[in-house]
Structure 1
Amino acid sequence: MAALVEASDLKKIGIGLTGFGFLFTFLGLIFFFDKGLLAMGNILFLLGLALTIGPRSTLSFFLKPRNYKGSLSFLGGILLVLFGWAVVGIFVEAYGFFVLFSGFFPTAAVFLYKVPVLGWFLQQPFLVSVINSFRDRRVPV
């Protein structure tokens, strides 16, 4: 029997802020690169990440030598969005997000396989080959 992991209140708030960060970013994209929504999404995502894994772990994640390229792209994209270059900033940020978090995509995919309707959709042959290509590119820790 698997033991349940109890999350602290700060981690619950962090997960909520991260979710709202994704929501605001999505809404910013839907509303034709709205600078305000994109900036709020970025700020909420970073705050949520810091509360979820801790400020020290967040800094060490972004400052690892193998993550420099992704960190610079991601944080540079956030700065571009904050300074008003929303379209360019979101593409730079998306590249950095992909480089930084691509190692976590297979873990997220395993979780999403268990969601009733979404799991069936993700098990289609084309998507399985795409997900497996991410699994093959992971860098060993």
Structure 2
Amino acid sequence: MFEITDLQKIGVGLVGFGTAFLFLGILLLFDKGLLAIGNILFICGLACVIGLERTFRFFFQKHKARGTVAFFGGITVVLLGWPLIGMLVETYGFFLLFRGFFPAAINFMRRVPVLGSILNMPGIRSVMDNLAGDQSRLNV
């Protein structure tokens, strides 16, 4: 097993709070204050979990430039007062940045007992297969 440091535990908490603030900001009709706090907490939590250097290397890779610009541009637009447009741009950047993690995350969620049954329902399964890029399931 690997040891989880206290800083990483704090980072997981910050990511959790950031996600909660983002969810509340969207739920409360794109409240720009909650969205801004959520974005800041999410980025700080990510930096605590994987470290500053690895966070910097993750965001500033050459092949992820478009995703990084969209993600941070969306955060900037939210901070400037256009929360709906900023969240759309930020979501696009998030998908570009983290699309390499989607197949593993979807395959993990398919193994969770109740969630796996929901994700394997006919309409949802095709969407999840497209997101995961699972070619063997698309040919069935």
- Scaled by the length of structure 1, the TM-score of the pair is 0.87
Aligned residues: 134
In the other structure, the counterpart of 1:89 is 86
State the distance in 2 between where 1:135 and 1:57 align.
25
Instruction: String of CA shifts for 1:72-105, please: whole Å, max 9, x gaps.
Output: 0000000111111111111110110011111111
- CA deviation map 1:33-67 (0-9, x unaligned): 00111001100100011011111011111110110
Q: Tell whether 2:9 aligns with 1:12.
A: yes
Q: Give 5+ residue unaligned stretches, structure 1.
A: none
The 3-state SS of whatever aligns with 1:103 is coil
Sort the Cα spacing of 1:65 and 1:134 in 2 relative to 1 into closer, same or farther, 3 A.
same
Change (3 A) 1:119 1:6: farther
Q: Which amino acid aligns with 2:131?
A: F
**Unmatched 5+ stretches in structure 2:** 135-140
Counterpart-to-counterpart distance in 2, 1:11 and 1:111: 22
Residue matched to 1:73: 70
| 1:53 partner amino acid | I
Q: TM-score, normalised by structure 2?
A: 0.88
Q: Deviations over 1:91-120 (max 9, x none)?
A: 110110011111111221223223332221
Return the alpha-carbon distance in structure 2 between the equivalents of residues 62 and 10 of structure 1: 20
